[in-house]
Amino acid sequence: MTAAPVSAFSSQTWSERLWQDLQPTPGRLAATLRIVLATVIALVLMMVWQMPFASLGLYYIFLVVRESPATSVRAGIYALLTLVLAVAAELAVVIVTDNDPGARLLSVAVASFLTGVLMVASTYPAFAAIWGFIYCTLIALWERPAPPDALVKASLFLIATVSLAFLCSVAVEYAFAFRHPAERLEEQANLRFRTLAGVFTLFANGADPAQLGPAIAGLNRLAATGQRGMLELYNAVLERGEGTGHLPVGSRVRISMLAQLMDVSAAFASHYPQGVDTAMRARCAEIARKCRDHSTGEAPDPHQTESPSLLDRVEQTLHSMHEMPRTAAAGEDQL
């Protein structure tokens, strides 16, 4: 009798789901420790130099991209340019309108509208939100009964404070981040295949729900990370000039297909938290074997059906990945 598809979360409370979401994922602990160290260093420096807007500077530490030091620098530069544009817009409104209160209020509405448009139309919506948030924060300073030069200095100090926070974050990333993105990328791929092999091995062996539950939850967390982190590692390989000689041919496509394989496998596992029937166990065992030997051999032939099931899609994706050559012929593109 075929096991009925049941959602893996149907019997879980919200607290159990929250606890599972807080479980470790690849790189989470290392990234958290780097954030803590950068926050402590930046906070000490801000307190020693008595810099204003310390809370905003510390908040911006969490916006630094941490896939690689190079991406951290690039994201930091973009964010600082966004801050400069916000300060320039604030000072321009104050100068052009001669600090008219009505014009300041109207500018907030205009800035909110522009922020919404840019968040929808831009490929970097976070920077549009940063611009709008900082502009509204700075324009509100002119409501204070303070000398204009003090308010201008406060606006410029915001750039200095956030710059310090970014410098601390980038320094920590360069000091403690990984040195060889190609090796890191290979480790991430192997981790995903090991996770898949472990889950499908449990299905093949007819494991009980107590064993399947934690394994499925781990697969879901890993699948939820998506392909962005691996693509950033791949881009870091290219940016550092290491070339792609240590990577299989078509690595960019393989990353996308691996993310798809993780998504489909997580969906299949979540539908069968109680296990699968005997007919499906043999197929799960073959999938587990090919995930363990993902770099060699051939993938199981997918079942050809008009309406493929989730397990069919797992086999089809795995088969497509194994059909790709791992080395390029002379003169072919290695990407």
Report pLDDT for 242.
Answer: 55
Report pLDDT for 3.
Answer: 46
Report pLDDT for 113.
Answer: 93
Task: Give which of 43, 84, 61, 59 is closest to 166, Cα–Cα.
Answer: 61
Report pLDDT for 41.
Answer: 94
Q: How far apart are CA 323 and CA 302, in angstroms?
A: 12
pLDDT by residue for the chain (335 residues), tens only, comes to 444 444 444 555 667 667 766 666 666 777 788 889 999 999 999 999 988 888 888 888 887 766 666 667 777 888 888 889 999 999 999 999 988 889 999 999 999 999 999 888 877 787 888 898 889 989 988 988 888 888 899 888 888 998 898 889 888 888 876 667 777 788 888 888 988 999 999 999 988 888 888 888 888 888 887 887 788 778 777 766 655 556 667 788 888 898 899 999 988 988 888 888 888 888 899 898 888 887 655 555 555 555 678 888 888 888 888 777 655 544 444 55
Mapped onto helix, strand or coil, the DSSP state of residue 280 is helix
Report pLDDT for 331.
Answer: 42
Farthest CA pair distance, the chain = 81
Mapped onto helix, strand or coil, the DSSP state of residue 307 is coil
Q: How far apart are CA 32 and CA 42, in angstroms?
A: 15
Are the C-beta atoms of residues 164 and 259 closer than 8 Å to each other? no
